[in-house]
Structure 1
Amino acid sequence: MTFNKFPLYVLIRILFLMLTLLMLTQVITTPGYHATSVLLSALLIGQIMEMIRFVSKTNTELVRFLAAARNADFSQRFQLSKQGSGFDELGATFTGILDKLQLARTGQEEELRHIKAVVEHVPVPLISIKANEQLTLWNNSARRLFGAHAIARVNDLARFGGEFPETLTSMIAGERRLVHVTIDDMEHRLSIVASEIVSGGQREILLSMQDIQSELDSAQLQAWQDLVRVLTHEIMNSITPVASLAKTAVDLAADVKTKVQGDSTGSRDESTEEIVEEIDDVLSAVQTVARRSEGLMHFVSSYRKLTRLPEPKKSHIKLSTLFSQVQLLATREWQEKGIYLATKITPAELDLVLDVDMAEQMLINLLQNAEQALAGVHQPQVALSAFLNARGHVVIEVSDNGPGVAGDLDDKVFVPFFTTKKEGSGVGLALTRQIMIAHGGHVALRTNKKGGATFTLTF
């Protein structure tokens, strides 16, 4: 290799330097050679400067190479062939090392970009919490979960639930918890799993937060449908023959009564009167059984709606049109009852894609519930409104200024069979919830601060 000649070139220069120094010593000690002494001195100085220049070229290029490597400046090139023999191989070596470093750096950056892209597109929100409670949102799912809220520290999560920050900071590696939070008026049930990461001597808790609200709603709905299906089937199988026999018994009792009265025409004695009275008692009891059996059959038949909801046939409709249709169907007698209805749509041209028939049925049920809740209320009022929430979802609200619903019943009112009305069946709100789940939405109930209740349909 050419660069291996470098020591030889240095040795040759040292030998010439020593030779010149020896000659200068001889000339100085010999009288009469003043001009030769000056020339040899100049030559010696020139050789020393050449030696310094020759050696310093290597140091200069080495310093430049190390600086380029330290600062990742891979644009540097070392073309040293013009600087003299022995340096072309050195320049090629420096350039080759930088090229390999650049190639390794490019590979690392590509791998890092790939990892970041994978993390960004993971459908589960990922956040991490450091020992100083600094919080980092690692992917798009996490940023979508918390929306436009600025989240930098754990305490910033307190706005979504007072115990939410404490729950996260108390989790240990391998632990799993189910947490309920409300973000931008939308409910989320998060299944949170904790992992521990130690990097650079710093401990960090990584939390994956999977929103299973829709899965829970679907599973709960399916469970209720299965239960209702079994109950209605068993009840109908049991009550149908009872109703049939009761009706037959009514006919037989009526026939016997007619015959007894016919046979005793003109000569009804005391025993005959007693028989007729007993037949009347039997007839009354059997009629009661028949009537209750028929009512129970109608009651059970109403629950079959919960297990036979068809797939939504969605179409595009303006909410102003939907509200007008619902108002026409549900509020015909409100003016006579003194109930005031206020409607508001923001923006006015707001529209939605849904099953119009199902949506009308939901809103009619909610308006009828509001009407029943306002019985006996001074200056009864109902508000029907629609708007876009902070997440861009369409929200429809039905509010009233009635007595409201007890706080512990907010979730129970959507359960099949549950009702707070004496003559209620517990079907209407359960069916509303089922329709909203079929549309990928959510229904909720809250008590207003100034009294009354508000049903919120979030699509």
Structure 2
Amino acid sequence: MLSKNFYFQTIGRVIFIAATALLFAFLMVGNNYVYAILMLIVLVFQAYYLIRYVNETNRKIAYFFDAIKNEDFTLRFPEKLSVKSLEELNHSLNMLNEMIQRIHLKNQTQERFYQEILKQADIGILAINDKGHILFANPRLELMLNYTPLNHIKQLSQIDENLYLLFSELRPFERRVFPLTNEREKIDLAIKSSSFNLDGQELLLVVIQDIHQELDEKETESWTRLIRVLTHEIMNSITPITSISDSILKYHEKGGTLAKSDSEYQKRMETTIKGLEVIKDQGANLMGFVQSYRSFLNVPVPDKKIVRAIELLEKVKLLVGQNQEFSNTSIELDLEIQDLELFIDEKQITQVLINLCKNALQSLSNRKNSYIKLMAGTNSEGQKYIEVKDNGPGIPPELINEIFVPFFTTKNSGTGVGLSLSKQILRMHGGGLKVISKPNIETSFLLIF
């Protein structure tokens, strides 16, 4: 309606100017100079009012947009005017101003709401641009790090040089754990990163949580399990040694003194030799157990290189498939991304995959239509993974939390180091090893990088 009124008003004024101009020309041709001069004056006034009318509309619109740009919503235009079209223009501008004001207030309310959530959150949150500038850091983070204000990641070097190096190398969708000792206490920071785009600028969003208490509880629980396993293994080895040693001593003593040679001497010597052989075997078992413990503690730092996932899995399939004992089990490859590349220590990850495949093969030894699937891809969080899946009997629910405990095993032979060592290797790669088991359906071990 407003645009139509403006259009008709402008067209009408232009028509009147054109008519006046034609009349002026007609009077000039007829040598009626007096009337011609009067028409010229009328023509000038008509042009003046047309320009004024258009400029007044443009000025109001310009004032309106300047006010909006400066977030000034107090601007009001009078709505009672003699010119109907200008009255409607003012009314429309006032309504638009009120609508924009409501939207602005709503956005401010939402922003205050989200800001309050970020302030009250029990985790640290910060946003970093590609130059290392910290665009946002909530109060919890500053309290956690005992440093304020945070404007650039270089300031983290004043807290801990290694913390600054971690942030300078941090990439989207990474997870890190960093132990930090500040002026008040020792804390363990779980650091998780992601990325998002804001106004065409790629930003790194980092979430930091203090998990010191949770780690303490887990550490206590792990030590309890470990001590229980160590006690069981050592007692199993030492009990026969002490028992047989005592028996041998009794064979050669009578009444507290060393027995003399008699007719049973040969028999006692044979018994002694057998006892010593048992002691030797138990001692060797105990040494092997300690050696396994040492290998678990001395995992070398990964020598990471870029490796194509397809080549790695084909190599593992070839190595595992050479075992004729398990020839009835098929080994399948399934890659979500054919050209997927991993930044890993190939030797260590190959060792982990072979260990997982051998465990799977042993569980499938008496199963028909058995298979192992080696899969690789990227999950919803952007993390690369390798999955080892089999359709074996699975892991009982009561054992699912025990299988990664060092030296825990359900096999008659073996040290129980394999899975715990594999998990340690994945942790040193900055990832993790997870298991999902559905008894008598399938079991999956997930290597996350």
Q: Which has the larger radius of gyration?
A: 1
**TM-score normalised according to structure 1 size:** 0.46
- Given the two structures, how large is their TM-score scaled by the length of structure 2? 0.47
